[in-house]
C-alpha cells in the first residue's frame, strides 16, 4: 500500500497564500463550495403560489442538472490542485464556479420576472437550494481566483519559497 502512495504529492501545508491564509485552505474551500452547489442543485429552487395552489420546483427540474455537472467539475479541479500539485487546475474552478454563478443569477432574475409579468396572479419565492448554489458558486470562484493569485505571486517573486 505504501508503494502506491509513494508518488503522491501534496502542497506544503505551512505555505501562505493571499491574506496570509494557508494555501491548503483554498482547495478545501473549492471542494466544500462544490458540495454546496451540488446539494443546492438537488433542493427546491423556487416555490410558486397561484390561486390554484402552491408548487415547489427542485433544481433538477431545470438548470440544476447543469449546476450538478459544474459542481463535479469544481470538485475535480480542487482534487487536481491538491493531488497533482497543479495550481493552474484552479482555472477549472473559476470556470465552473463562474458558470454556476451565472446560472443562479439568471434563475433569480427569471423568478422575479415571472412574478412581475403575472400581474399579481402568480407569486414566486426563491428556494433554499438556489441560495446554496449562489453562495457556493461565489465561494468556488473566489477560492479558485485566490489559488491563481498565489501562483501569480509566486511567479513574480522567484526567490520566495514554493507554496506548491
Return per-residue pLDDT of the chain as tens, 164 residues. Answer: 455 545 544 445 556 666 677 777 889 999 999 999 999 999 999 888 877 888 888 999 989 999 999 999 999 999 998 887 788 889 999 999 999 999 999 998 888 776 665 566 777 789 999 999 999 999 999 999 988 887 766 666 555 445 55
Burial class (CB in 10 A: 0-12, 13-18, 19+), 60: middle
Q: How far is CA 143 from CA 1, 27, 46, 128, 152, in A?
A: 33, 7, 27, 22, 14
Q: Which residues contact 27 (CB under 8 A, 6 or more apart)?
A: 78, 79, 81, 82, 90, 143, 147
Return the DSSP state at 16.
B
Distance of CA 125 to the CA centre of its chain: 23
Q: Which residue is it, cell 438537488? A: 42
The pLDDT value recorded for residue 45 is: 92
The pLDDT value recorded for residue 122 is: 72
How many residues in total does the chain contain?
164
Burial class (CB in 10 A: 0-12, 13-18, 19+), 117: exposed
The pLDDT value recorded for residue 82 is: 86
The pLDDT value recorded for residue 41 is: 96
Amino acid at each position: 500500500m505504501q508503494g502506491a502512495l509513494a508518488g503522491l504529492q501534496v502542497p506544503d501545508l505551512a505555505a501562505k497564500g493571499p491574506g496570509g491564509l494557508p494555501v491548503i485552505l483554498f482547495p478545501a474551500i473549492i471542494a466544500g463550495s462544490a458540495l454546496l452547489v451540488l446539494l443546492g442543485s438537488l433542493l427546491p429552487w423556487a416555490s410558486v403560489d397561484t390561486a390554484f395552489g402552491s408548487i415547489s420546483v427542485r433544481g433538477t427540474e431545470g438548470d440544476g442538472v447543469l449546476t450538478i455537472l459544474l459542481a463535479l467539475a469544481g470538485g475535480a479541479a480542487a482534487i487536481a490542485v491538491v493531488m497533482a500539485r497543479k495550481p493552474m487546475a484552479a482555472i477549472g474552478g473559476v470556470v465552473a464556479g463562474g458558470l454556476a454563478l451565472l446560472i443562479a443569477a439568471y434563475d433569480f432574475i427569471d423568478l422575479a420576472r415571472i412574478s412581475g409579468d403575472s400581474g399579481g396572479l402568480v407569486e414566486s419565492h426563491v428556494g433554499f437550494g438556489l441560495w446554496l448554489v449562489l453562495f457556493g458558486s461565489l465561494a468556488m470562484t473566489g477560492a479558485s481566483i485566490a489559488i491563481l493569485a498565489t501562483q501569480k505571486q509566486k511567479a513574480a517573486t522567484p526567490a520566495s519559497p514554493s507554496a506548491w
